[in-house]
Amino acid sequence: MSYVGPEFEHPQPRRPRRGPLTVAVAALVPGALLGWLVYEAVGGAGGDGGASQATVRTSATATSSAPADDARNTGSSTPTLASPTSSAPAASGPLKGKVVVIDPGHNPGNFQHTTEINRKVNIGTNSKECDTTGTSTNSGYTEAQFTLDVSHRLEALLEKQGATVKLTHDGNSPAWGPCVDQRAQIGNKAHADAAISIHADGSATGNRGFHVILPGSVHAGAADTRPIVASSADLGAHIAGYFVRVTGSAPSNYVGNGTGIVTRTDLGGLNLSTVPKVFIECGNMRDSKDAALLTSGAWRQKAAQGISEGIVSFLHGS
């Protein structure tokens, strides 16, 4: 996600005071991060973040091409959300009966709908822009393209596990957005067992690695995250651990103090959620080394696999 704009203000690089929740999350993540440190020590990751040598569990490979960037104006001032994209009927599998909502960050059509996405919406604590355009690599590969590609791959992997999967949008439907409050509502109305918003960051060159964003405790206006803070932290810890293990990528070197975990209270998609939900910033699109990973279809498949395994582990309670 681009940190340009009020919805995505860059967190301050200060060391937060560690409360009980932070300690609890930290206790869940080190096992997987220890695997990363061992992997680094033996030279596995190298200069490319380890994407070419990381061990990946056997899985069917989902194919997904990047969407076109020329979504057309539907003439509507509000994106249509009556039918969020749903997967085919769930197959038999260990996740049969489970519902997962995937939220591909931004939308390729946002560039053509700046007036609409700049409209303010209430996120409980205050008002924010409906959405933003997101960031891109220096070569022009957009975050919206990246998030849709990874989301489609993740959808296919979860369907094979038997889950019912819903996407908040599919690039062309709706033609822009949805707004951040509506993205949360889709997961809430689906009574999702887990929800995840897929992003890539737009930080400074040299800032590398992934991080998972957890909802902080918010109780203001329409926002009340208190019932989902603990379960979301559990979901995020599982995803962070498996993301390291499968992709070989390091946790962020610029937020999260090396844990790959960040807690925020300024994101509408988290503040308004009533189901366990996290964001993942898969890497920094503005750094050339991270960008080389994010633009690789093989690495995006690993990213989807790591996220999928984290969600499966969370839903299994393991």
Active-site residue set: 281
Beta bridge partners, 251, equal 210
Question: Burial of 51 by CB count in 10 Å (0-12 exposed, 13-18 middle, 19+ buried)?
Answer: buried
Residue in the structure block whose two tokens are 């020590």: 41
Q: Which alpha helices (DSSP H) does the chain contain, by range?
A: 20-28, 30-41, 114-117, 143-160, 180-189, 229-247, 268-271, 288-294, 297-316
What is the Cα–Cα distance from 91 to 89, expressed in whole angstroms?
A: 6
Q: What share of the chain is helix, strand, coil (3-state, %, to 5)?
A: 35, 15, 50
Q: Which residues contact 213 (CB under 8 A, 6 or more apart)?
A: 236, 262, 263, 264, 267, 270, 278, 279, 280, 281
Instruction: Look at the alpha carbons of 283, 13, 26, 269 in this order and tell me if their dihedral is positive or negative.
Output: negative
Work out whether the CA dihedral 190, 196, 198, 203 comes out positive or negative. Answer: positive
Radius of gyration over every alpha carbon of the chain, rounded to an integer in angstroms: 18
**Which neighbouring-strand residues pair with 164?**
99
